Amino acid sequence: MTGIVFVIDQDVHLAKLVSSVLVPAGIDVSGYCSGHAALTAMETLSPDLLIVGERNTESDGVGWVAKLREVQHRIPVAFVASRWRDPEFYRTLKDDLSVALIAHRPLKPSVLKAQLSDLLAIDWRNEAEPEEIPITFASDANGLNSSPAYAKWRRMFIASIPQRMERLGSLLTALSLTNDRVKIIAEATIIAHNLKGTALSWGFTELGDAAARMENVLQQDTGSGAFSSSIVEDAAMLFHLLNEETRVLSADPDISDIMDEIPELAADKAHVLLVGTESLPCDELSQRAGIGVEVIQTTYEKAIEAAEKVALDAALIEVPELGQTEQCFNLARRLRDLPGYENLPMAFIVPAEAGAQMEGAARAHAGGSIVVGRPVDGPTVDMVIGRLLSLAEGGRFRVLVVDDDADMSSLVCRCLGQFGIIARSLSDPLQVMNVLNEFNPDLLLLDVMMPGMSGFEVCKKLRSGDRWRDLPIIFLTAQTDLPSRITAYEAGADDYLPKPVINVELLTRVKARLEKSRELKERSERDLLTGLLMRRPFSEQVNGMISEATRHGLEFTIALLDVDYFKQVNDSYGHDAGDLVLATVGKLLRRRFRVEDVRGRWGGEEFILAFRHENLEVMKRALTRVMDELRSIEFPCGDKSFRVSFSAGLSAFPRDEQTLQGLVQVADRRLYLAKTGGRSLILTEG
């Protein structure tokens, strides 16, 4: 396509950013620091869109748009704000100045691309190199996906309405026959509320508006016994309107005439690599894992190639025979060495007689969290994959959608799934804590109005504990009045997204919140040089490990290690060489051991590790493997090179001590003995 876009802002970088996004799609972008110059250019050119920043050389952006509207009412305008403002600011832009889109700095190219696609009706499918957020579908005026598969899914929503209407009709009939109305009103209101939100999100405005009026009528009952006959009559009339709207939708050929061969629009699945010759019973994997699972089976020879083609969430590696375990471990280490896979959870499938004989140190060093013996049945596969997915950290974003309306939560999950986000839905808010601990999401999308426990109550509960205190929470609700918004933020919400859900807006807000949250977490918890946890977050995780081990009578091991002769490295080769050594050790520790093990930088050239459910001797052998790897690395420095090693002291919970401070003191004492005993030693006694 072709088109013209003007960018009016005194910051020239805004025009450059817009050009990088739109020029590849055939859009001509012109930047103006002067608002007067832009108005003059419009006398000879007719731009399809104006992107206006907060200031140009003559005036502020809002004033310039107001001046524009005096002479030009129809041209679309996108406004780029430098910060978030009060609601009145947005009302002025939207209602008084007819601004079509409001974006906020800092802008990301991928997000800006998503925001501008609808305004310019750009089809990005033919782009050679799609951006981080690929727009793979054209959108209608409501911002809803208009692809054939999406239309089929809309039809499935229409097919679900009669059942809702039947239940609502039964409730309204019971309402006119009884004085015990509290439960009836509550259930009927929830049905109307959910129907309103989902219908409007699909673009069925008339149906959504009728459901909204039904909800408002039902909410007139205060429970005080003053429920009037006029309310019953109003509800009956609105029920009739809802039935009419349902009938019209069902008869619409544009909706009902969907070909059976059109593929179902599905949410993104978790990808699990299965290496080996054995086929696993994978028919109902999603029941335990909570999300769709796609198993990608391959051979040892093609495993690396397969891993590089798709974003993996877990791996299962088959050990054909007991004597071939080292081949299995080598492949596991190669997988963990691939970019982005240092936290890949892994399980090993071994011959039945080999489970007890598999060398624990080699398995822990290679990153195997689970060992399961053949033959493997369906429930076992389900359990193993569910466990691996719950261990996953980093990698693709995960979002939990909590909404009692299954159609709405499925819509949201599929919207997010199209862009690589693993989304899981939950209809019962009372199960939130269990699912959070199992699924370990990066963000929670939460409805307000749900039976059993409101979204506000769920949010307050999560904010009152340590485990989920910092989890980003976005309310997704049709309750958009000011008191509801205030209550949401008072409960601890990070953002508030009103229904109806518009795909691009939902994606943009969720992605921005996810990226910001992960960036802040990385900055606050991880050492920049080594990528390992800093002392405070490491201590918090190990204290949680101590609580778990105390409750269940478990053991674990602490290792404190120190790079040998590190001062000599700095003195002989310079501090850059010393930093390279520390960064290399950090990378090696991140890529070895299991996902559930905790790794940290204790200070200077000291590192600390905590190994779940493993004893001293096993972890001593595993650390010895890491030491051998480190010794084999040659560090170049000009025309010279050098090698390094480390010394370590280990302590065990509960054998040596029962507190983190005590465990570190014991490990430090043994580390000192290793240093004075000749270095390159790992001690578990002394």
Paired with 600 in beta bridges are: 533, 608
- For 430, left (φ over 0), alpha (ψ -120 to 50), or beta? alpha
Please check whether residue 679 is in contact with residue 664, taking contact to mean a CB–CB distance below 8 angstroms. no
- At 438, the amino acid letter reads E
- At 215, the amino acid letter reads E
* Tokens 């499938």, residue located: 349
Beta strands in 292-411 (DSSP E): 293-298, 314-318, 346-350, 368-373, 398-402
Q: Which of 17, 4, 60, 51 is nearest to 32 (CA)?
A: 51
The pair of structure tokens assigned to 461 is: 């509960």
In angstroms, the CA 587 to CA 629 distance is: 12
Q: What are phi and psi of 616, to 5 degrees?
A: -60, -45
**In terms of C-beta density within 10 A (0-12 exposed, 13-18 middle, 19 or more buried), how is residue 146 classed?**
middle
What one-character DSSP code corresponds to residue 60? Answer: B
In angstroms, the CA 220 to CA 215 distance is: 9
SS3 per-residue string spanning 49-109:
EEEECCECCCCEHHHHHHHHHHHCCCCCEEEEECCCCCHHHHHHHHHHCCCCEEEECCCCH
CA distances from 419 to 73, 241, 471, 515 (A): 35, 37, 21, 14
Count CB-CB contacts under 10 A for residue 79. Answer: 23
The pair of structure tokens assigned to 148 is: 């054939």
Q: Which residues are marked as active site?
A: 605
Using only C-alpha atoms, the chain has a radius of gyration, in whole angstroms, of 30
Please check whether residue 73 is in contact with residue 51, taking contact to mean a CB–CB distance below 8 angstroms. no
The pair of structure tokens assigned to 613 is: 């459910």
- For 534, left (φ over 0), alpha (ψ -120 to 50), or beta? beta
* Tokens 């619409």, residue located: 252
**In terms of C-beta density within 10 A (0-12 exposed, 13-18 middle, 19 or more buried), how is residue 253 classed?**
exposed
Instruction: For residue 339, give the 3-state DSSP assignment.
Output: coil
Q: Which distant-in-sequence residues (6+ apart) come within 8 Å of 670 by Cβ? A: 560, 648, 649, 650, 651, 683, 684, 685, 686
In angstroms, the CA 210 to CA 334 distance is: 59
- At 681, the amino acid letter reads L
Please check whether residue 367 is in contact with residue 593, taking contact to mean a CB–CB distance below 8 angstroms. yes
Angle, to 10 degrees, between the axis of helix 205-218 and the axis of helix 229-251?
A: 160
Please check whether residue 372 is in contact with residue 281, taking contact to mean a CB–CB distance below 8 angstroms. no
Q: Taking CA 345 as the corner, what is the angle to CA 341 and CA 351, rounded to the nearest 5 degrees?
A: 125
Paired with 270 in beta bridges are: 293
Q: Which of 593, 599, 594, 468 is nearest to 527 (CA)?
A: 599
Helical H segments across 257-359, by residue range: 286-289, 303-309, 325-337
